[in-house]
Amino acid sequence: MDFGGYNSQPNHNNVLKAYQNPIFRPTEKEEVRNMYRNVKIQYNITRDENTRLRTQVKNLDLDLQKKEKEIENLTLKLHQQNYMHAGSAPITQKTNYLESFLVQQLKR
């Protein structure tokens, strides 16, 4: 069976004939081994990706908690500063605008 030269592409018919030849055809046991190996490789890849994604989600969750706490602290400081300057006067529209701007900037 001729598969061609060093750089030539094998003819599809020749490959099919070689596979059908009992000498080149893998046995059922070899096919099962190959299938098992492929499934095991795919399982390991999926498990590693799952671990990586879980770690990423955990890190993002921690970052989100830190930012939310920082936003709460800054908002509280802003309210305290406004109450100190204006006494116990209600929050003005300007303060609401600054607060919403601050919140938007910190969420980015």
CA distance 45 to 47: 6
CA distance 6 to 98: 72
pTM for this prediction: 0.48
Give the pLDDT confidence score for residue 1 in this predicted structure.
Answer: 43
Terminal Cα distance for the chain, rounded: 65
- pLDDT tops 90 at residue 82: no
Look at the alpha carbons of 34, 35, 38, 43 in this order and tell me if their dihedral is positive or negative.
Answer: negative
CA distance 61 to 30: 46
- pLDDT tops 60 at residue 5: no
At residue 34, what is the residue type? N
pLDDT digits (tens, 9 = 90+) for 26-49: 688 888 999 999 999 999 999 999
CA distance 22 to 27: 9
